[in-house]
Chain A
Amino acid sequence: MCSNYNYIEFIDKTTPNPNQQGNKGKNIILLHQKGIKVPLGFIIKIKAFNEIINKMRIQERVNNFLTREINPKNVIPFTNELKAEFDALRIPKTIYNEIKEGITILRSKFGLKTTFAIRSSTSIEDQTQFSFAGQAESFCCVSSFENIIKSIKKCWNSLFSPSSLLFLMKMKQKGKEIPKLEMAVIIQKMILSRVAGVLFTANVLDNNPNEVLINSNWGLCETITNNSVIPDLIILDKNEFKIHKIDIGKKESRSIQNFNNSSTMLIENDSSLRTTLSLDNNHLIELHELGLTIERILKYPQDIEWALENDQIYVLQSRPITSINGEIE
């Protein structure tokens, strides 16, 4: 298939390539190819990031900073300087136009009211042994093109956040090699989920490979990953569908799309939602099956973010469980 684009690739029209899509992007494309439901959209390739970063000489400046600095306090002025540059960045026309066309295509496919999820996908994050989890940002329910562009710039910038730089400084302090900082950005149709959560194809609480662990809450997935609620906890037998444990979490609040469709907002769950398990038996059976299928495809125990919209489960991302040794064949 021949593509007219240099900097973007549509999830349903390309093949997995971590060097341009990052690990998260590569997994989404691979899962789509294998018939797993993922939100559709496109990826802004690492190539676009590299061209922009090279122009700003960022890699070189970061390396110089890490070579010369031992005082962690100096991370703040340095990252502030980079942030100001990203805020003011004018994305080169060739890249900008492709992003614009990509969004136009998604809007014509999914409707003008569609909002988007914008996530970073790095080549260092999500690798087995080193997840760098949450060091880079994601944005949900973004609608206007202006805000899409802002979110993309924030994603790129998040690789050079204070936390990120301190992380690298610590790695250097410990004599570890600094990884090459590269990022793709994934733009997908936002799944406005009624229920969402994570699914681990091993019980990560006690490293039990014969169990599956699910966390879930009402609304969008972000309340689970960013620790803002105590979610429901379900532990299943891995080999056959059997419930080992259900702990209904407090789930004080949930995240939803805000009223002017421009971002997310946190609202309180009423008491009936708090005390009800957010998943029924059929969804548990489906998630159990989905987990095993994805693990077979990716050949390693997986940490899967999922979202349930109109009774359809979508996989938002899947990455190896980094705290487990478990090559699967």
Chain B
Amino acid sequence: MKVIGKGLSCSSKSEAIGDLVYVTEIEDVIQLFDSASGKICLVNDAGITTLGPILSDLAGTICTTGGAGSHLAILSREFGIPCIMGTKFNIDISSVIGMKIKLSHNGDNHGYVHLLD
């Protein structure tokens, strides 16, 4: 298990395991509408409110920017799922879309993204 990203853990629930999916627009949400269950979703700065419809199914969210006050963080907390904001990756994240990842935190609000083999 390798750490591939680090950010701010923005939800009191901070551990999850699931397949990584990437959402940039509403069409991606439609694609995932009936299959989002248990997945961990990555978003960039845009398209955050877009994620609303499937949030209740997701196992976790990761955003490359933002903080605790972002809409995505607010909604993720509301649905009781882990959320890591302002995440920086040490690999090309597009190469691991679809793979199993794990979210965790270190007890001091640092959130980690791990790649599970």
Binding site for B on A (CB under 8 A): 72-73, 75-76, 130-135, 162-163, 166-167, 169-170, 174, 197-198, 200, 204-207, 213, 215, 224-231, 233, 249-250, 303, 322-323
Contact A169/B53 with A200-B68, A230-B66 known, Cβ cut-off 8 Å? yes
- Of all A-B residue pairs in the complex, the 9 with the closest CB atoms, nearest first, are A227-B66, A198-B69, A323-B77, A166-B53, A215-B69, A134-B71, A134-B49, A72-B33, A230-B86
**B48 partner, pick from A205, A226, A250, A322, beta carbons under 8 A:** A226
With contacts A72-B30, A167-B53, A213-B68 taken as known, whether A227 is within 8 angstroms of B48 at the C-beta atoms is: yes
Q: List 19 A-B contacts (CB under 8 A).
A: A130-B78, A133-B71, A133-B75, A133-B78, A162-B26, A163-B53, A166-B29, A200-B69, A213-B69, A224-B67, A224-B69, A226-B45, A227-B70, A227-B72, A230-B65, A230-B67, A233-B67, A233-B68, A250-B86
**Best-buried of A76, A166, A213, A249 by chain B (most CB within 10 Å):** A166
Known: A205-B9, A205-B10, A215-B68. A303 touches B74 (CB 8 A): yes
- Given A163-B53, A166-B29, A167-B53, are A133 and B74 neighbors across the interface (CB < 8 Å)? yes
Q: Which residues from A are CB-within-8-Å of B34? A: 72
CA distance A286 to B34 in the complex (A): 47
Known: A135-B49, A226-B45, A230-B86. A215 touches B29 (CB 8 A): no
Q: Which residues does chain B contribute within 8 Å of A130, judged by CB atoms?
A: 78
A207 touches B69 (CB 8 A): no
**Is chain B's interface secondary structure helix, strand, loop, or mixed overall?**
mixed
- In the complex, which residues of chain B have a beta carbon less than 8 angstroms from the beta carbon of A166? 26, 29-30, 33, 52-54
Contact yes or no, A322 B70, CB < 8 A: no
Q: Is the CB of B80 within 8 A of A249?
A: no
A228: chain B residues at CB < 8 Å are 45, 65-66
B41 interfacial contact with A, CB 8 Å: no
Inter-chain CA distance A322–B48, complex, in Å, is 18
What's the nearest-Cβ distance from chain A to residue B51, in Å?
8
Q: Which residue of A lies closest to B12 (CB)?
A: A207
Chain B proximity of A144: nearest CB distance (Å): 26
Give the docked Cα–Cα distance between A38 and B53 (Å): 32
**Inter-subunit contact A135/B52 (CB<8 Å):** yes
**CB-based contact B53/A231 at 8 Å:** no
Contact call B71/A249, Cβ cutoff below 8 A:
no
Contacts of B33 in A (CB 8 A): 72, 166, 169-170
When distances are taken between beta carbons in the complex, the residues of chain A under 8 Å from B85 are 227, 230
> In whole angstroms, what is the CA distance A205 to B78 when docked?
12
- Asked if B50 is an interface residue, CB under 8 A from chain A, the answer is yes
Point out the residue from A167, A169, A204, A227 that lies within 8 Å of B65, measured CB to CB. Answer: A227
Cα distance A72–B33 when bound, in Å?
Answer: 7
Q: Which residues in B have their C-beta under 8 angstroms from that of A233?
A: 8, 67-68
Name B33's closest neighbour in chain A (CB-CB).
A72
The answer to whether A226 and B29 touch (CB under 8 A), given A170-B56, A249-B86, is: no
Most buried by A among B48, B53, B65, B109: B53
Q: Which residues on the B side are within 8 Å of A226 (C-beta)?
A: 45, 48, 70-71
Expressed in whole angstroms, the Cα–Cα distance for A224 and B73 within the complex equals 11
B103 at the interface (CB under 8 A from A): no
**In the docked arrangement, what's the CA distance between A227 and B48, Å?**
8
A163 and B50 contacting across the interface, CB-CB below 8 Å = yes
